[in-house]
Amino acid sequence: MAAAAAKRQLLAAAEEGNLAKLQSALAAGVPVDVRDGEGRVALHLAAAGGHAAVVRALLAAGSNPSQRRHEDERTALHLAAEEGHVDVVSELLAGGSEVSAEDFDGSTPLHCAAHYGNVRVVQALLDAGAKVSIRNSSGQTPLLVAAEACGCRWMGQEEGPGGYDYVDVVRRLLAAAETEQRAGGAEAEGLGSSGADAAAAAGEESAVEQLAGAAP
């Protein structure tokens, strides 16, 4: 197989979730982290598509989970978290992905999961040690992102099999923030009040009730 054709096959197989085609391309000698015209490697494509078996195969073949997409400096973990693919998140974490890697604007995979209200992904990231205190370039922590999204009920996302539930996400992030505060992290100071302010401003009564007790 010609090198150019093998590259195209690798990237297409990753995006489609076709494990057999992927393995054929790798056997032809194409570099596992070759990039497409948009600066994405196969791991980015497979992670965004929710193809856990392909992600596992790419990691086993030596793909670097820290590779960043050129467009926004997001890792495969950001993409899987954003799309709500908890199985892929688990594979990437097991493969050495940095749980609190920051993209071009300082957002972590936890910011992405919080923004879309995916309970299972949020919990998987928290279990792996994701920091709740990290603020992006807009000064938002994942808790603040979730509280605001809880109020506006982000369009296009519904509670269902994927585990979308903003109030539950807010509750879990609040508990994690309190744990960081008790641990004495200076960066965690004020997380409870800022989250409560965001939820109150958004007018989400149930989230406010969850957050009000944590405000100093």
Q: Check: CB of residue 17 under 8 Å from CB of residue 53.
A: yes
Q: What is the dihedral sign for C-alpha 71, 126, 194, 201?
A: positive
Same fold, 1-98 and 100-216: yes
CATH superfamily for domain 1-98? Ankyrin repeat-containing domain (1.25.40.20)
- Report helix, strand or coil for 47: helix
Segment 63-70 mean pLDDT: 97
Compute the distance between CA of residue 130 and CA of residue 122 in angstroms, rounded to an integer: 9
Q: What ranges do the domains of the chain cover?
A: 1-98, 100-216
Segment 10-16 mean pLDDT: 98
Compute the distance between CA of residue 44 and CA of residue 46 in angstroms, rounded to an integer: 6
Query: Is pLDDT larger for residue 144 or for residue 72?
Result: 72
Q: Tokens 């994927």 appear where? A: 162
Compute the distance between CA of residue 118 and CA of residue 81 in angstroms, rounded to an integer: 8
Question: What percent of the chain shows pLDDT beyond 90?
Answer: 65
CATH class in words for 100-216: mainly alpha
Compute the distance between CA of residue 213 and CA of residue 48 in angstroms, rounded to an integer: 37
In this prediction, residue 163 carries a pLDDT of 61
**pTM of this prediction?**
0.84
Partners of residue 118 on adjacent β-strands = 164
- Per-residue pLDDT tens for 80-112? 999 999 999 999 999 999 999 999 999 999 999
- Work out the end-to-end distance of the chain between its first and last CA atoms, rounded to an integer number of angstroms: 65
DSSP 183: T
- Per-residue pLDDT tens for 133-163? 899 999 999 998 988 887 655 444 455 445 6
- Per-residue pLDDT tens for 166-181? 888 988 998 998 888 7
